[in-house]
């Protein structure tokens, strides 16, 4: 892709100028967290320099400015994901909290005999909260299996869904393998038996602009820090009809209508699920991050990252003994690999000495590692601010690590 303004984009990210171990930083751990452009950093500095105040309950100017900015960010996020109502956008501390919030709500609704479906490709945060919910309710957790290429076994899915299925939870994109899952098909099938669907969009949000109305999804969860925003903030989209039915996740200030020692009534949406002082600056900066990514454009990002992925995959495949896990037809810019006879941690340590940040380990997706019977992988994950030269640097560093460790 020739006209992608990569040089200009890189200037937006101060961290990309730094050196690590005396070498220029090559940051390829974007699936764990993305880097932050100065537009978002400036937004954070401006908040704390000019209008830091608690929101929603102050009459003074600063509080009103902070409230307006926070609610404007909610609106930006609503528009980005094309939710119908602003009340459907719940600020959370991230994907993990969004999933726990929904699982908590369903722990008051499900019962023995009910079934829920989890995919084999999930991050632990889309497994463990549901196991807890199943323990509490007696509902049965059923697993939608994966295929050797890292795709979901959609034939098996057809057999799993039945009249007892109440809920299906699947990620949009696997953080460990990069597989883009056929969520539209998954949602359609679940709807036929009246089951609700939660999509973990943590990995998809930096690459794909999801349209929650078009998907007809019940819940979609994301973290800001995967999409150029700060850590500790995220969003749960939930259909209003569902959020009205679910029990609040946490009690506290902000989420109430009336409180007495005899009885408390809850606030309307979205406040019912937003107990306590939220990450105000984080929410506002999340809005700035969404603006930033939309200025570059998700179609241009997807095309550029696809080209990086193709180049990196081809070059890594040529290294003798290197195996890539996850070769799905539809995949984003994540490459999980191992070299025969070498522990992933050792590769990660050597490439770090060369300034290259990759992740090693199970990537919080132990069931995938168990499926391949491996302890973990080396994972290189690319963002739109990475370059083809950085891909080449990775390939050379992996070759060097192989030489040193063989």
- Catalytic machinery residues: 364
Tokens of 125: 């945060």
Is residue 340 packed enough to be buried (19+ CB in 10 Å), middle (13-18) or exposed (0-12)?
exposed
29 vs 114, which CB is nearer to ligand PMP? Answer: 29
Closest separation in Å from C-beta 52 to ligand PMP? 24
100 vs 386, which CB is nearer to ligand PMP? Answer: 100
Contact residues for ligand PMP (CB under 6 A)? 94-96, 123, 125-126, 171, 175, 200, 202-203, 223, 364
Closest separation in Å from C-beta 234 to ligand PMP? 6
98 vs 270, which CB is nearer to ligand PMP? Answer: 98
200 vs 390, which CB is nearer to ligand PMP? Answer: 200
Is residue 320 packed enough to be buried (19+ CB in 10 Å), middle (13-18) or exposed (0-12)?
exposed
Q: How far apart are CA 125 and CA 221, in angstroms?
A: 11
How many helices, marked H, and strands, marked E, lie in the chain?
Answer: 14, 17
366 vs 399, which CB is nearer to ligand PMP? Answer: 366
Is the distance from CB of 308 to CB of 160 less than 8 angstroms? no
CA 337 from chain centre, in angstroms, equals 21
Tokens of 9: 């984009």
CA 126 from chain centre, in angstroms, equals 11
Closest separation in Å from C-beta 283 to ligand PMP? 15
Closest separation in Å from C-beta 365 to ligand PMP? 8
Closest separation in Å from C-beta 171 to ligand PMP? 5
Closest separation in Å from C-beta 363 to ligand PMP? 7
Measured in degrees and rounded to the nearest 5, phi and psi for residue 13 equal -110, 95
Is residue 403 packed enough to be buried (19+ CB in 10 Å), middle (13-18) or exposed (0-12)?
exposed
Beta-carbon count within 10 A of 52 CB = 14
Q: How far apart are CA 4 and CA 298, in angstroms?
A: 12
Is the distance from CB of 273 to CB of 101 less than 8 angstroms? yes
230 vs 270, which CB is nearer to ligand PMP? Answer: 230
Tokens 């303004």: give the residue. 5
b/e 73-91 (16+ beta carbons within 10 angstroms → b): bbebbbebbebeeebbbbb
């Amino acid at each position: 892709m020739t006209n992608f303004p990569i040089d200009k984009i890189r200037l937006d990210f101060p961290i990309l100028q730094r050196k690590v171990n005396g070498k220029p930083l090559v940051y390829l751990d974007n699936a764990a967290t993305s880097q932050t452009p100065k537009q978002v950093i400036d937004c954070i500095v401006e908040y704390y320099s000019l209008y830091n105040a608690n929101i929603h309950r102050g009459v003074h100017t600063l509080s009103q400015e902070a409230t307006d900015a926070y609610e404007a960010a909610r609106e930006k996020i609503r528009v980005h994901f094309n939710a119908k109502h602003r009340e459907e956008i719940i600020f959370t501390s991230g994907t993990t909290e969004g999933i726990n919030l929904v699982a908590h709500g369903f722990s008051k609704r499900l019962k023995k005999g009910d079934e829920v479906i989890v995919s084999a490709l999930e991050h632990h945060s889309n497994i463990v909260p549901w196991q807890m919910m199943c323990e509490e309710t007696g509902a049965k957790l059923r697993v939608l299996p994966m295929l050797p290429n890292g795709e979901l076994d959609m034939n098996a899915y057809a057999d799993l869904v039945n009249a007892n299925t109440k809920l299906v939870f699947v990620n949009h994109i696997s953080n460990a393998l990069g597989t883009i899952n056929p969520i539209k098909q998954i949602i359609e099938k679940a709807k036929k038996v009246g089951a609700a669907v939660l999509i973990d969009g943590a990995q998809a949000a930096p690459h794909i602009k999801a349209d929650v109305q078009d998907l007809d999804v019940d819940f979609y969860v994301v973290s800001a820090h995967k999409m150029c925003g700060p850590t500790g903030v995220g969003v749960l989209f939930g259909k209003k009809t569902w959020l009205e039915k679910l029990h609040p996740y946490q009690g506290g200030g902000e989420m109430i209508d009336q409180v007495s020692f005899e009885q408390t009534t809850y606030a309307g949406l979205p406040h019912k699920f937003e107990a306590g002082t939220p990450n105000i600056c984080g929410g506002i900066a999340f809005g700035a991050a969404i603006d930033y990514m939309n200025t570059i454009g998700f179609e241009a990002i997807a095309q550029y990252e696809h080209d990086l992925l193709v180049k990196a995959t081809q070059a890594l495949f040529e290294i003798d003994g290197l195996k890539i896990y996850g070769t799905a037809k539809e995949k984003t810019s994540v490459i999980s690999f191992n070299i025969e006879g070498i522990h992933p941690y050792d590769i990660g340590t050597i490439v770090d000495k060369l300034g290259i940040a990759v992740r090693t380990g199970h990537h919080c997706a132990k069931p995938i590692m168990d499926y391949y019977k491996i302890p973990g992988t080396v994972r290189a994950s690319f963002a739109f601010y990475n370059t083809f030269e950085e891909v080449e640097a990775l390939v050379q560093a992996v070759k060097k690590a192989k030489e040193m460790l063989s």
